[in-house]
C-alpha cells in the first residue's frame, strides 16, 4: 500500500448526554477524523484525543500538529507491505500514540477494504458478535445513577461500569448492590486516588466487583502493584499502559490482573494485537475500552474486539448512547442480549454519512504526495 493523500478533519459533536469522570464533565466531543487514500481507495480512522489534556497528554490539536507536520511527511508516498509495518516506522516520533493510531487504523481500514475482507478478519479476529457493557459517568445524585443503571440493564447490556472519585465511590456501589443485586459491576477512578487511600479502596473489596480500573495515577505502575497486594479485587490498568512494554512491566510486578485495550492509547491496531497476545500468554483477560467514539472509531473497536482474549464485555456500546445522529448509517445497535453484531462488509464495514461529517467540520486539511 502506498498512501497518496491524507485528509484531516476536526469536528465538534454534541453528546446525547453529558459525560462526567473524576477529571471533569464534557457536553460535546472534539473529534479528529483521518482519511488515507491509495489510488482512489480510502480508509478512515478516528483520533480518540479530546479537546483537553485531562485523560492523556494528547489533544485533538496536538494530534493535528503531529500528523500534519510529522506523520504525513513520513508516510506519504512510501510503500508499506502491510499496515503492521506502519507503527515501527513511526517510532521515530516519540509518544503521540493517539495521533499515530488514527493514521495506522485508517491504513488498516484501507488494507482490509482493498482486500475485500472485514477488518476483523485482517486483524485475526474470529467472533461474529461482541459482548457489550456500559460506562456510566458520575451523576448529580444517587437517584439519578439508579435511573441510568436501570435504563442500561433494560437495554440488555452485560455489565455496568461506573465512574468513581473520592466522595462518589462507596455510596454509589452500595446503592447499586442494594437496588440491582449481583449485576456484573466494576468501577473506574481515572487516577483519582493515591496509595494513601488504600483503606478506602479496600472497603470496595466486599462488593464483589469485577475489577477496579485505574485507581492511581495515569503514569504509575509501581504503586498499583503495592495496592494490588492489599486488594482482593483485581486491578485493571487503562491510562498507565502506553506501550506493550508498560504492560510487560505491570504484569511482571502484578500491578494489574486485567487489561483495558484502547488502540488509541497504545498506538494502533498492531500494538493492540501485541498487547492482547501478551496478556493471553500470561492468562490475563482483556476487554475493549471506549473513548466516546463516533461510529467510525466504534466500528474499529468492534472489529478489534473479535480477537479471542477479549473475554470480558467492553465499553463498546450502541451509537444512541453518544450521538444522535451518529456519523454512520445504519447506527450501531445492541441486541436485547447485550451483544453487537460485527459488520461484515469490507474494512470497517459501515457507511459514513458525508453530509453529517461536513456539517460538523470546523477545519479541514489535505496533504498529498
Applying CB under 6 A, the residues found at the interface with ligand OSB are: 55, 135, 188, 190, 238, 289-292, 315, 317
CB of residue 213 to Mg ion, shortest distance in Å: 5
Binder of residue 135, out of ligand OSB, Mg ion, none (CB less than 5 to 8 A by kind): ligand OSB
Q: Toward Mg ion, which CB reaches closer, 261 or 328?
A: 261
Mark whether 262 is an active-site residue: yes
Q: Toward Mg ion, which CB reaches closer, 48 or 112?
A: 48
Mark whether 161 is an active-site residue: no
- Of 155, 147, 202, 217, the C-alpha closest to 180 is 147
Q: Toward ligand OSB, which CB reaches closer, 1 or 235?
A: 235
For helices 295-304 and 269-281, what crossing angle results, to 10°? 30
CB of residue 216 to Mg ion, shortest distance in Å: 12
CB of residue 347 to ligand OSB, shortest distance in Å: 21
Binder of residue 292, out of Mg ion, ligand OSB, none (CB less than 5 to 8 A by kind): ligand OSB
- Which residues sit at the interface with Mg ion, rule CB under 5 A? 188, 213, 238
Binder of residue 246, out of Mg ion, ligand OSB, none (CB less than 5 to 8 A by kind): none
- Which residue number places its CB atom closest to ligand OSB? 290
Q: Toward ligand OSB, which CB reaches closer, 21 or 84?
A: 21
CB of residue 163 to Mg ion, shortest distance in Å: 8
Q: Toward ligand OSB, which CB reaches closer, 59 or 190?
A: 190
Rounded Cα–Cα distance for residues 176 and 183 (Å): 8
Catalytic position from the list 100, 161, 163, 165: 163
Rounded Cα–Cα distance for residues 50 and 63 (Å): 10
Q: Does an H or E element contain 258, and which?
A: strand 258-261
Transcribe 273-289 into DSSP letters.
HHHHHHHHHTT--EEE-
CB atoms within 10 A of CB 47: 32
Grid cell at residue 53? 489534556
Calculated CA dihedral for residues 275, 279, 282, 287, nearest 10 degrees: 180
CB of residue 289 to Mg ion, shortest distance in Å: 6
Q: How far is CA 123 from the centre of its chain?
A: 16
Catalytic position from the list 100, 161, 165, 262: 262
DSSP 254: T
**Residues paired with 13 in a beta bridge:** 29
Grid cell at residue 117? 475482507
Task: Tell me which residues are annotated as active site.
Answer: 163, 262
Amino acid at each position: 500500500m502506498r498512501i497518496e493523500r491524507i485528509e484531516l478533519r476536526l469536528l465538534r459533536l454534541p453528546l446525547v448526554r453529558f459525560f462526567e469522570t473524576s477529571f471533569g464533565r464534557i457536553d460535546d466531543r472534539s473529534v479528529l477524523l483521518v482519511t488515507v487514500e491509495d489510488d482512489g481507495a480510502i480508509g478512515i480512522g478516528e483520533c480518540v484525543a479530546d479537546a483537553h489534556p485531562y485523560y492523556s497528554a494528547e489533544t485533538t490539536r496536538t494530534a493535528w500538529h503531529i500528523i500534519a507536520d510529522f506523520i504525513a511527511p513520513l508516510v506519504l508516498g512510501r510503500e508499506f507491505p502491510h499496515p503492521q509495518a506502519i507503527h515501527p516506522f513511526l517510532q521515530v516520533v516519540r509518544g503521540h500514540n493517539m495521533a499515530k493510531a488514527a493514521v495506522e487504523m485508517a491504513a488498516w481500514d484501507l488494507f482490509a477494504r482493498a482486500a475485500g475482507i472485514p477488518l476483523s478478519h485482517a486483524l485475526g479476529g474470529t467472533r461474529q458478535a461482541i459482548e457489550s457493557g456500559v460506562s456510566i459517568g458520575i451523576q448529580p445524585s444517587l437517584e439519578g445513577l439508579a435511573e441510568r443503571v436501570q435504563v442500561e440493564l433494560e437495554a440488555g447490556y452485560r455489565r455496568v461500569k461506573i465512574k468513581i472519585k473520592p466522595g462518589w465511590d462507596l455510596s454509589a456501589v452500595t446503592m447499586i448492590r442494594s437496588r440491582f443485586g449481583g449485576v456484573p459491576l466494576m468501577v473506574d477512578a481515572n487516577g483519582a486516588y493515591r496509595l494513601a487511600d488504600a483503606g478506602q479502596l479496600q472497603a470496595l473489596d466486599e462488593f464483589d466487583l469485577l475489577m477496579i480500573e485505574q485507581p492511581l495515577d495515569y503514569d504509575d505502575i509501581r504503586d498499583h502493584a503495592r495496592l494490588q497486594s492489599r486488594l482482593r479485587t483485581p486491578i485493571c490498568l487503562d491510562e498507565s499502559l502506553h506501550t506493550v512494554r508498560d504492560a510487560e512491566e505491570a504484569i511482571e510486578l502484578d500491578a494489574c490482573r486485567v487489561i483495558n485495550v484502547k488502540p488509541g492509547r497504545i498506538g494502533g491496531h498492531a500494538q493492540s494485537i501485541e498487547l492482547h497476545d501478551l496478556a493471553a500468554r500470561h492468562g490475563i483477560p482483556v476487554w475493549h475500552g471506549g473513548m466516546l467514539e463516533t461510529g467510525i472509531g466504534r466500528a474499529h473497536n468492534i472489529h478489534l474486539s473479535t480477537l479471542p482474549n477479549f473475554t470480558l464485555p467492553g465499553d463498546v456500546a450502541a451509537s444512541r448512547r453518544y450521538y444522535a445522529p451518529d456519523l454512520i448509517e445504519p447506527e450501531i445497535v445492541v441486541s436485547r442480549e447485550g451483544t453487537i453484531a460485527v459488520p461484515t462488509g469490507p474494512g470497517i464495514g459501515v457507511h459514513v454519512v458525508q453530509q453529517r461529517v461536513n456539517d460538523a467540520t470546523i477545519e479541514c486539511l489535505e496533504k498529498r504526495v
